[in-house]
Structure 1
């Protein structure tokens, strides 16, 4: 015999980023080794329930209080010991620099994982027993990076303007030169000017012989300044990177008195790096521009008057005044007024959304997650012609917009499979190139040629074989794709989901709220003999009014419309949810059950009467969702509800087929007839009904064993199934904390039309990554033999750097990806 104990992971590990974090594995491993603990596993987040740790233990060996103490103590130790940082930095200009920074951090005692990104955040997990956040920040500063000041978890996300540029020396160090963020470009241009001058003067007579050489030396100094700094950092980290290969080649050209070719190499290499920095910065600016959407101040009602305050000073529950045609400063719900709001900056919706006040302000304040979408507003969106009063539901730092920016920043640190492959390839390839060049330097001992000729050929091969384009090919495409998605109201959590989404061939849709409106209507009320319709509706409304499920809201809303004003009322209490089956409550002394017909086969009491079974079957054959109502031992009747498909659902399915999705399936907890009816209306291949949450998980596992499959749902009831899909896609994530946290891809708006957009974008991003790999590796494959057979160093330099600029330009095309679904 064993007992189970389930504990909320966020309680055990308060700093936990998500349930996939390494600290969860450490907690499981530590607890699993305890005497009396038989099994430990994680239950993914589901609905409003957080992720949980489930412990199977022997009650004879451990009491429930003791096992709880052990788990909480282990969680506290892990939280105290292991820290997680996401630091905003300035000064990581390109991919090789990011790898060097990551390597230097990983060499620090106590750092478990460190990932730096181009121009952006650095993610670090560390052991507090061996190092501190101060040491990590100092390491970054020693590497020439400006790091944002520490801020509490709820602090405002750092924007590009908050990097501490007040100190001139920090500004220079962070950007790497005396001319600020343009230093690298200015140095590269200076190198080109000096190169051109030296080349021109070398053909002019009457000038001192030292003048061209002096200009070439100046070109070497300006063109080699940044590569040399990077090479020194790289060597200190014990790595050989591309910068080293370029410097060796330039030094070799100088040794052969080929100053012009060496200067040309440094010019093209430095201008390529400068443009790479610009390109990656442009992609990042497309993301960080979101931070500036929310206004810095808000007008708030306090002490009977309206005053302007910084948004950081807004408190949850306060009422702010939104004037016509202004940006909304905070998340909240409308308490007065009506207007249309342009939500495109957050959700990507192309048409403004009408907003109405909530029916019950007090109830909405207690349950913000249950508020209708037409009453919710988001920070950064734009109010239309009407004035609004809005009650704040989130602090500025926790607004949907702020969390979107923060999550996109975290996504940048998640490397895609292709990026991990190219990193591994470079680690092997660069030393092989150096070894090959070393052998070529000895060619004069084998073939009849002077050492200078062998040396020149070796330098040309060195340039040709340097994988500069490969280093930037994937990160530039991934960052551009994530930036374009964010601008279109879609959060893609890293290069992995972006690439996976580009490969999927099958999609599984949840029905309610995904393919359908999620706003079912009460269409049928069938009372049993001896029971009035009013009695049936009164009992059903009393129970369903305690639930926030969309079906419950439909019963309450439409049921009250059907009842007369003088209809009897009832008060239910002790609501209990029976997963996947229905609800139980108590009215007076009677136990009341409302749910599927299958529920009544699983609970005590009389079975469904034959005539009621016939009514249920008839409604289900018409595509209705049914709810049977029983009070005490007496069956009152059955309710029929219908959730209509979204108007654009059929069009979206057609677009997805055009994008190459070959198999589309609907999975639903409703009965098979309802699922079939909706699937037929929207044009799906197949439908599965009567699925409990664990049944959805098993079906997704089965589908995934056959091909890559995405799961599309609302991220609440579908969270376990989404977690087992190749890619989990949540709709309406702007209004749902659970959806925003659990999905791999989050459609911020409640718009199904965003799905073809993000799948089309991911397919284009996947194609771009492949194209960039072919360009970068293909150029190496062509240039190396060409240089071996006599291609000059100068020509190799031009082709080599040209391929780098080509892959960057190709990646930037993703920023201009056209959202064809907006017209659908």
Structure 2
């Protein structure tokens, strides 16, 4: 079955097809099946070089039309031969030969291609068997063989095309044109002509044509096509367009947008940060397509098996040619039996068992916002017993928040916060920014005094002046040194209690009076706890947090989100050693942001990156990428992998079982036609069983919308 040419007009996936035509799958040449026959292990499927488009003069379904024409000629020939006595004797034979022509047309072309590549595969075996039947005068049986084989292939190609289309549909999400404002003039241009820095106008309910950040307007955007998120995400303009332009990777999620997503009811304007060939969607299309070529452990095993099995079958068929020497039968019967064994023992279903499941699984994962880079990580993901998580940005928001405000005797919370916010507003430290943001919100509009003369004590804290008095804010260790009076017992006790709970503490003193302590913590993600509970239900027995924070902070976060273990005080190289230690005893995944955690992810059985839609590094380094910055998709990915492993096992057992039954059956006398019928039937069962993955429901979705994403 041929697919739409991605290079043709109107089909603009946002990727440079001259560089990566779906991972080398040149669809302009036609999609011919998804087999992997023969000892060579060469792919017999989309992009394998088997070119049927040169004969698609009747449209994309030419192969199916030829197969049905073969069947019609065969049936008419049989009816005339058996029920129309007055018909000329040559007519049934002519119809059988016509069936040979239509049934063998594509098979012959492919056999010639194979022989040119020095490959002796199933197509050649079928032609030899059909020619042998004709040599014996059994034209009807030979025609039946070619009809069933060609029909099986045509149906198989159609079924595999369904999985291919699921991937190609990703490429069609981005619109072909964009509405751009340049120098005050608005015009519509092809997305390929978009430049970084262009302003794109997006009307309500339109698909976005480029990656970028919002500079004007508010809206809710359905990001499910790219990230798999179940509900639309509210978007607002960036606070500082110049800063966003200079550091596009630091733009917050509430302002970042992606090509292929769907705008809500508000008109927005976005500034382009990536060309169409570099958008998150384009990279997903490219990587998902490339994932088809990445072989899984089971696929590598079946290819090794075929390298031994196929020569053994050829030797068996050759030996059976001389059965007439041992048993009392004519050479004709021995030859016929040998041809039947060749057909029955073809590893067609076995070869397609794993690729079809992997292709369907990868396509379904991509539609659910999970990028899986090939068969190996797809299978390995389902075999995990342990998952290690980075803390910052994975289990937590990566943004410290005020969790506790402890005031000294005689000091109100508002008084403490007003002084603290006034001083910290002069600092650009992340903890200072967190205090200003959360403190201002807690003050609810209360007046904040003016502060000045900010000075920093590196690694310890800051001090400034308010109304002529010095205000110190910093770690407890700052007090009692360098002429700064020591803390009183009340504050010392409060600091100790907050630190025991895993809080980062900032002590505040104004003049000679201790005012209080503010506790901060990198708060857990809302989705983390639920995701971990679901992973536990699936059967992940160990879930470990590995973090560079101190052990008490790690323990506090682990307890909050429901982890089984927490390992703190780890440097990046220590994380790698921790993963290696875990992997020595079990299969373990490492979940991180794909940047600082890349070495640990590479050491794990499966590396899983969070928020890959906005991170080039995450897309490149991980085996599995959760496109949304959300752990909620991880249980779905593991569940999908386990379903894929189950279907691969079912397909492998079925295909080997059919061969195990057919080979002795044909030796004992089963006809070629019956062997072909069972053989092709098993191949179709294997393919359609794999296609069930495309319809797999996301049982872990936050809402029904996610299951349809």
Deviation for aligned residue 1:643:
3.1
| C-alpha contact 2:324 2:331 (8 A) present in aligned 1 | yes
Quick one: which of 562, 566, 575 aligns to 1:683? Answer: 562
Q: Deviations over 1:343-389 (max 9, x none)?
A: 11111111111111111111111111111101111111111111112
Deviation for aligned residue 1:176:
4.1
- CA distance in 2 between partners of 1:525 and 1:569 (Å): 24
Alignment gaps of 5+ in structure 1:
1-82, 104-115, 123-142, 146-172, 577-581, 588-593
Q: How do 1:742-753 residues align onto structure 2 when only pairs under 5 Å count?
A: 742-753=621-632
- Note if 1:667 corresponds to 2:604: no
Q: CA RMSD in A?
A: 3.6
Q: Deviations over 1:616-668 (max 9, x none)?
A: 543222232457999xxxx9998632233333433322322222222222222
- Note if 1:94 corresponds to 2:33: yes
**Residue 451 (structure 2) aligns with:** 568
- Note if 1:312 corresponds to 2:251: no
SS in 2 for 1:334: strand
Quick one: which of 162, 181, 185 aligns to 1:282? Answer: 162
**Residue 309 (structure 2) aligns with:** 429
Q: CA distance change for structure 1 residues 197 and 555 in 2, over 3 Å: closer, same or farther?
A: farther
Deviation for aligned residue 1:519:
3.8
**Residue 129 (structure 2) aligns with:** 249
SS in 1 for 2:584: helix
Q: How do 1:410-425 residues align onto structure 2 when only pairs under 5 Å count?
A: 410-425=290-305
**Residue 528 (structure 2) aligns with:** 649
- CA distance in 2 between partners of 1:552 and 1:740 (Å): 32
| C-alpha contact 2:39 2:310 (8 A) present in aligned 1 | no
Deviation for aligned residue 1:481:
0.5
| C-alpha contact 2:67 2:150 (8 A) present in aligned 1 | yes
Q: CA distance change for structure 1 residues 192 and 607 in 2, over 3 Å: closer, same or farther?
A: farther
Deviation for aligned residue 1:307:
2.3
Quick one: which of 322, 325, 333 aligns to 1:442? Answer: 322
Q: CA distance change for structure 1 residues 693 and 626 in 2, over 3 Å: closer, same or farther?
A: farther
- Note if 1:702 corresponds to 2:581: yes
**Residue 119 (structure 1) aligns with:** 46
Quick one: which of 668, 681, 687 aligns to 1:808? Answer: 687
Deviation for aligned residue 1:211:
1.2
Q: CA distance change for structure 1 residues 605 and 239 in 2, over 3 Å: closer, same or farther?
A: farther
Q: CA distance change for structure 1 residues 616 and 334 in 2, over 3 Å: closer, same or farther?
A: same
Deviation for aligned residue 1:283:
0.9
| C-alpha contact 2:37 2:347 (8 A) present in aligned 1 | no
Q: Deviations over 1:491-526 (max 9, x none)?
A: 111111101111111111222332334443123578
**Residue 465 (structure 1) aligns with:** 345
Q: How do 1:21-170 residues align onto structure 2 when only pairs under 5 Å count?
A: 86-90=23-27, 91-96=30-35, 118-120=45-47
SS in 2 for 1:750: coil
Q: CA distance change for structure 1 residues 379 and 689 in 2, over 3 Å: closer, same or farther?
A: same
| C-alpha contact 2:34 2:45 (8 A) present in aligned 1 | yes
| C-alpha contact 1:241 1:430 (8 A) present in aligned 2 | no
Task: Specify the structure having the higher radius of gyration (Cα).
Answer: 2
| C-alpha contact 2:37 2:351 (8 A) present in aligned 1 | no
Q: CA distance change for structure 1 residues 101 and 486 in 2, over 3 Å: closer, same or farther?
A: farther
Q: Deviations over 1:219-267 (max 9, x none)?
A: 1111112122212222222222121222222222222222222222211
Q: Deviations over 1:169-202 (max 9, x none)?
A: xxxx635442242222111111111111122122
Deviation for aligned residue 1:796:
1.5
Please, what TM-score do these two structures have when normalized by structure 2? 0.84
Q: Deviations over 1:261-280 (max 9, x none)?
A: 22222112112211222222
Q: CA distance change for structure 1 residues 218 and 618 in 2, over 3 Å: closer, same or farther?
A: same
| C-alpha contact 2:176 2:190 (8 A) present in aligned 1 | yes
- CA distance in 2 between partners of 1:95 and 1:341 (Å): 37
- CA distance in 1 between partners of 2:655 and 2:165 (Å): 26
SS in 1 for 2:680: helix
- CA distance in 1 between partners of 2:484 and 2:463 (Å): 20
Quick one: which of 195, 208, 217 aligns to 1:328? Answer: 208
Q: CA distance change for structure 1 residues 608 and 228 in 2, over 3 Å: closer, same or farther?
A: farther
- CA distance in 2 between partners of 1:608 and 1:429 (Å): 84
Deviation for aligned residue 1:696:
1.6
Deviation for aligned residue 1:759:
0.9
Q: How do 1:177-576 residues align onto structure 2 when only pairs under 5 Å count?
A: 177-204=56-83, 205-524=85-404, 544-545=428-429, 554-555=434-435, 557-558=437-438, 565-568=448-451
**Residue 468 (structure 2) aligns with:** none
- CA distance in 2 between partners of 1:572 and 1:297 (Å): 53
| C-alpha contact 1:534 1:568 (8 A) present in aligned 2 | no
Q: CA distance change for structure 1 residues 625 and 725 in 2, over 3 Å: closer, same or farther?
A: farther
SS in 1 for 2:362: helix
| C-alpha contact 1:117 1:413 (8 A) present in aligned 2 | no
- CA distance in 2 between partners of 1:718 and 1:480 (Å): 29
Quick one: which of 620, 629, 644 aligns to 2:499? Answer: 620
- CA distance in 2 between partners of 1:770 and 1:292 (Å): 33
Q: CA distance change for structure 1 residues 435 and 572 in 2, over 3 Å: closer, same or farther?
A: farther
Q: CA distance change for structure 1 residues 336 and 434 in 2, over 3 Å: closer, same or farther?
A: same
| C-alpha contact 2:44 2:50 (8 A) present in aligned 1 | no
- The structure with higher relative contact order (CA 8 Å, sep 6+) is 2
SS in 2 for 1:351: coil
| C-alpha contact 2:419 2:449 (8 A) present in aligned 1 | no
- CA distance in 2 between partners of 1:620 and 1:381 (Å): 44
SS in 2 for 1:328: coil
**Residue 5 (structure 2) aligns with:** none
Deviation for aligned residue 1:614:
6.4
- CA distance in 1 between partners of 2:152 and 2:461 (Å): 67
Q: CA distance change for structure 1 residues 629 and 439 in 2, over 3 Å: closer, same or farther?
A: farther
- Note if 1:735 corresponds to 2:614: yes
- CA distance in 2 between partners of 1:395 and 1:227 (Å): 43
Deviation for aligned residue 1:768:
0.7
Q: Deviations over 1:769-800 (max 9, x none)?
A: 11111111110011111222222322222111
Please, what TM-score do these two structures have when normalized by structure 1? 0.73
Q: CA distance change for structure 1 residues 305 and 209 in 2, over 3 Å: closer, same or farther?
A: same
- CA distance in 2 between partners of 1:808 and 1:608 (Å): 77
Q: CA distance change for structure 1 residues 618 and 433 in 2, over 3 Å: closer, same or farther?
A: same
- CA distance in 2 between partners of 1:478 and 1:652 (Å): 25
Q: CA distance change for structure 1 residues 517 and 430 in 2, over 3 Å: closer, same or farther?
A: same
Q: Deviations over 1:590-620 (max 9, x none)?
A: xxxx99999x9xxx99999898986654322
Deviation for aligned residue 1:97:
7.6
- CA distance in 2 between partners of 1:627 and 1:445 (Å): 96
- CA distance in 1 between partners of 2:483 and 2:192 (Å): 58
Q: CA distance change for structure 1 residues 805 and 665 in 2, over 3 Å: closer, same or farther?
A: same
Deviation for aligned residue 1:570:
6.7
Q: CA distance change for structure 1 residues 613 and 211 in 2, over 3 Å: closer, same or farther?
A: farther
Q: CA distance change for structure 1 residues 568 and 117 in 2, over 3 Å: closer, same or farther?
A: farther
